[in-house]
């Protein structure tokens, strides 16, 4: 994978940072995209410590022009895009759906779904021009089964599943490999924030995982890198759960 180039959105922490570090260990250069400049630049520092090259691009992925900018900045810096981890997202307010405000619904939809779709559009334009590439989208167990208090989030993650399958059907013959992961509850800053807002709900979440523990970012990163790095070329349009057995029940 040495000298290949990846874009990682939501790369400032959690799953995005774990994937950036694992790719860097394999010599992959990366663009780290995040709304937090401090977090994103820290990931860049960690990547560069491992000997890979990295740039940071600040972006609100709900803004199409900012998404196009992180793609353009990547091509300008590295000349191509080989891999795309389409990961940026938020959890939402953690309330039953009718209790959500319109503003809360719009925020989750614009970041989690529109932002992912914008990224796919602009990255695909580059990959198709250059002969192909590999993409992993972050869905969720909430994109596979119904879960309480995450209505808007669940809608976006079901949408991620749909666009993953559609793009595989449309572009596989042109060298595009695209899959989605569906993590269960994983130890990330986003999950920590949700736990603090909804401690009682979170106890139920933990009790519902057959392995009786949360996933770790590094475990999810192993799966993402496997799907990105060319070792899984015949896996295309798949949605892979990584959830301690939660969706097997």
Structure tokens at 100: 């959500």
Cα–Cα distance, 35 to 123 (Å, whole number): 19
The catalytically annotated residue of 70, 118, 153, 194 is 153
Q: Which token pair is 61?
A: 């992925």
Place of tokens 């569906």: 182
- 134 forms beta bridges with 83, 177
All residues at 6 or more sequence positions from 179 whose CB lies less than 8 Å from its CB, including other chains: 135, 136, 137, 164, 168, 227, 232, 235, 236, 237, 238, 239, 240
- Catalytic residue check, 118: no
Q: Which residues are catalytic?
A: 153
């Amino acid at each position: 994978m040495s000298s290949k180039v990846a874009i990682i959105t939501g790369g400032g922490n959690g799953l995005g940072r774990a994937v950036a570090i694992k790719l860097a260990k394999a010599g992959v250069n990366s663009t780290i995209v995040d709304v937090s400049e401090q977090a994103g630049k820290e990931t860049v520092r960690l990547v560069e410590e491992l000997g890979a090259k990295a740039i940071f691009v600040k972006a609100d992925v709900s803004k199409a022009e900012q998404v196009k900018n992180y793609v353009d900045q990547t091509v300008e810096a590295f000349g191509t895009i080989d891999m795309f981890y389409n990961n940026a997202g938020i959890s939402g307010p953690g309330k039953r759906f009718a209790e959500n405000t319109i503003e809360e619904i719009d925020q989750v939809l614009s970041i989690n779904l529109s932002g992912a779709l914008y990224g796919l559009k602009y990255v695909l334009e580059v990959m198709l021009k250059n002969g192909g590439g590999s993409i992993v989208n972050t869905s969720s167990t909430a994109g596979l089964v119904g879960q309480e208090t995450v209505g808007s989030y669940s809608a976006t993650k079901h949408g991620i599943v749909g666009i993953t399958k559609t793009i595989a059907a449309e572009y596989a013959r042109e060298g595009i490999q695209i899959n989605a992961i569906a993590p269960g509850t994983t130890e990330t800053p986003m999950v920590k924030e949700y736990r603090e807002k909804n401690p009682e709900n979170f106890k139920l979440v933990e009790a519902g995982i057959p392995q009786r523990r949360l996933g770790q970012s590094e475990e999810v990163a192993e799966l993402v890198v496997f799907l990105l790095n060319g070792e899984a070329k015949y896996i295309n349009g798949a949605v892979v759960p990584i959830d301690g057995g939660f969706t097997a029940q």
